[in-house]
Structure 1
Amino acid sequence: MKQATLLLVLVVFSLLPACQHSSTPEKESMVLIPAGEFQLGMPVSDNIPAFMSDRTSSANAQPMQNMHLDAFYIDRFEVTYADFLAFKPSARYAEGRANHPVRGISWHEADAYCLWSGKRLPTEFEWEKAARGEDGRLFVWGNELDKSKANFGKTPQPVGSVKGDVSVYGVQDMNGNVSEWTASWYQPYPKSWHKDANFGENFKVIRGGAYNKREHGFMEQFAMVPYRNVAPPTMRTWNTGFRCAQSVGKTESGNPG
């Protein structure tokens, strides 16, 4: 009888880590971003190229301001093809890209994947804080563009392979590789004077620089982490992927963590 009781206790204790793991973000796969203020937005500049539209002008990311966010978790790496195929086994992609960031994913597919995994898409404010920290830097490494520190080349790279592209919190590939969907609709910032007919609930915000297929089209401004790009949630583009986030203390189904 004693032996049977001891065996039962051992079985229960052996299962505890697995039970806890189901509601707690993995330390290796997610990063905790602490609560507190950070500097949101772009500094005011009159140097806006004439060809830029309201949707592509950095005026939509002004004024620069302090913003407080609660603590949250965010994926250390962009979601890969291998990750996405676990969610959608019927999807087909070229071989040899299992550890590359999945791309050509609509916002709806990205949102569905995050919810399936017990997470959610980050808001654009969460994404920006995770990328730039609290000191208002324009790139994850500082205020000067250095193309060697992120993947701004002609092809995507495996996640985490460019060692310079890591934020102060340890989140990787936020400045290059692929741009990323966020949960946020394209809306004006608090205290903004900028007018844009596209504001509303027609476009989702995309964040982060990306690799570039074309020789032309790369601009320093597009690579700045506070820069806002937008697209309809149904659109699939060759340079856009995503990563997930999670609120502290609960899974995104609303259950306590």
Structure 2
Amino acid sequence: MKVSEYIVKICLFSGMLAMGSCGQSPQSSGTVTAPVSPDTLNKMVLIPAGTFAMGADDNTGNPDEYPKHQVKVDSFYMDEHEVTNAEFGLFVAQTGYVTTTEKPISKEELMRGLPPGSPEPDSSMLAAGALVFTPPDHAVPFNDVSQWWSFVAGANWKHPEGPDSDIKGRENHPVTQVSWEDATAFAKWAGKRLPTEAEWEYASRGGLKDQAYPWGTEALTVGQPKANTWNGNFPYKNTATDGFTGTAPVKSYKPNGYGLYDMAGNVWEWCFDLYNANYYGKDGQLAVNPQGPAEAFDPEQPGQPVRVIRGGSFMCSDEYCRGYRASARMKTTPESGLANLGFRCARSVK
């Protein structure tokens, strides 16, 4: 087995591959020109307090989206769009922060993500880097992600597809290849925090009740493009009918009812919460400002401290990943940095 193929298998066990949660943006060259402050490009929107029904709106959701239950959240502020490369570049420039994917992984860390009895990796597997979407030119079975994934040494937020790529011309695109730790560090620096999963879904719905998408019930493919998602046949043919094959500049599509952009598609977004497949309550009690479960649990990767990601990405389609639904949940390990996983921040109202 090739090193890259072996690492793909490692990532499957360690939770680095959320379904449909990784991808590749167009390549270009250059560096980021940062704004003066983190709020220069990304204003915060006040989300009013309210109660909503959290969970799948029909019978097409995944098992972890049930039962639908009542949740109350206090008002809070939320970034109107995903944190951009320019904003993250300012954070790095002012703090010297080094992201997770820029650091070599230790043998001990790697072995923790492997099933018992796995052979020890050699040194070539410990290089800093990330998984990059490398689409085939033909249809492949969806149950074998190694058909469209490669580990690329040197892939990180400044070089999302590897050392020969960078982000010139993508300053206003969402930052990717950032881990939960990276997102949390940025939020703390900016005087913000990551949104809870409940806050994220409430904000995503934009004031609509029992609607499948941030824009309502109309199918994604009806009318004008509503979000940056996969068009065509996944993973080998993207017709780009929504205008993009990779990430899109933030605010490329209409906002939802709260004035938030890209709450569906473009990139997955980190939430504060641990992920637990059995977390949604069955007692019928109103949940008030829930902060997530005390312990993580994912039956596909037991023992891993997985965190919630929300919103889907440009890799999502009806045939492979419907993560752009308001109730859709996904998860990955907090160390994961993926080419279409980013974040936006929240702030409590004091």
State the TM-score, normalizing by the size of structure 1: 0.74
Question: Residue in 2 aligned with 1:141?
Answer: 215
Q: 1:200 to 1:141 in 2, by over 3 A?
A: farther
Give the match for residue 9 of structure 2.
Answer: none
- The 1:104–1:160 alpha-carbon spacing in structure 2 relative to 1, beyond 3 Å, is same
Correspondence for 2:248 among 145, 149, 157: 157
* Map 1:4-23 → 2, pairs under 5 A: none
Letter in 2 for 1:96: G
> Which runs of 4 or more aligned residues in structure 1 lie more than 2 Å from their structure 2 counterparts after TM superposition?
25-28, 89-93, 195-201, 215-219
Pairwise CA RMSD: 2.8
- TM-score, normalised via structure 2 length: 0.55
Other-structure match for 2:313: 210
Contact 1:185/1:200 (<8 A) preserved: no
> What is the match of residue 92 of structure 1?
158
Once the two structures are overlaid, the 10-residue window that deviates more, 31-40 or 240-249, is: 31-40
How far residue 87 of structure 1 moved from its aligned partner, in angstroms, is 0.7
Secondary structure of 1:173's counterpart equals coil
Give unmatched runs, 5+ long, in structure 2. 1-36, 97-156, 160-165, 231-244, 284-296
| Partner Cα separation in structure 2 for residue 102 and residue 28 of structure 1 | 13
Taking the TM superposition and a 5 Å limit, the aligned residue runs for 1:94-243 are: 94=166, 95-134=168-207, 135-147=209-221, 148-153=225-230, 154-163=245-254, 166-187=255-276, 188-191=279-282, 197=299, 202-212=305-315, 218-219=320-321, 221-243=322-344
1:248 aligns to 2:349 (yes or no): yes
State percent identity of aligned pairs. 40
Residue 58 to residue 28, structure 1, CA distance change in 2 (3 Å): same
Match of 1:41 among 55, 79, 93: 55
Residue 336 of structure 2 aligns with an amino acid whose one-letter code is M
Q: Is the 8 A contact 2:80 2:261 kept in 1?
A: yes
Answer whether contact 1:209 1:225 (CA < 8 A) is retained.
no
Instruction: Say which structure is richer in helix.
Output: 1
SS in 2 for 1:88: helix
Alpha-carbon deviation of 1:227?
0.4
Deviation (angstroms), 1:115? 0.7
In structure 1, distance between residues paired with 2:74 and 2:199:
9
Aligned AA (1:140): P
Q: Which amino acid aligns with 1:40?
A: M
Deviations 1:110-136 (A, max 9, x none): 010001100000001100000013412
Q: Are the aligned partners of 1:77 and 1:160 in contact in 2 as well (CA < 8 Å)?
A: yes
Alpha-carbon offset, residue 105 of structure 1: 0.6
**What's the CA shift string for 1:202-257, capped at 9, x where partnerless?**
100000021029x89634x32212100000000111111000000001xxxxxxxx
The alignment partner of 1:206 has SS state of: strand
Cα distance, 1:70–1:226 mapped onto 2, change above 3 Å: same
* 2:323 alignment partner, SS class: helix
Whether contact under 8 Å (2:76, 2:346) holds in the other structure is: yes
Counterparts of 1:25-104 in structure 2 under 5 Å? 29-43=43-57, 45=59, 58-89=62-93, 92-93=158-159, 94=166, 95-104=168-177
User: Equivalents in 2 of 1:201, 1:66: separation in Å?
Assistant: 28
Question: Which letter maps to 1:138?
Answer: A
Please say if residues 185 and 201 of structure 1, whose CA atoms lie closer than 8 Å, have aligned partners that are also in contact.
no
Are residues 60 and 199 of structure 1, via their aligned partners in 2, closer, same or farther at CA, if it must alter by over 3 Å?
A: farther
Give the paired residue count.
211
Residue 287 of structure 2 corresponds to which residue in structure 1? none
Q: 1:107 to 1:83 in 2, by over 3 A?
A: same
Q: Name the CA distance, whole Å, in 2 between partners of 1:69 and 1:100.
A: 29
Q: 5+ residue gaps in structure 1?
A: 1-21, 48-56, 250-257
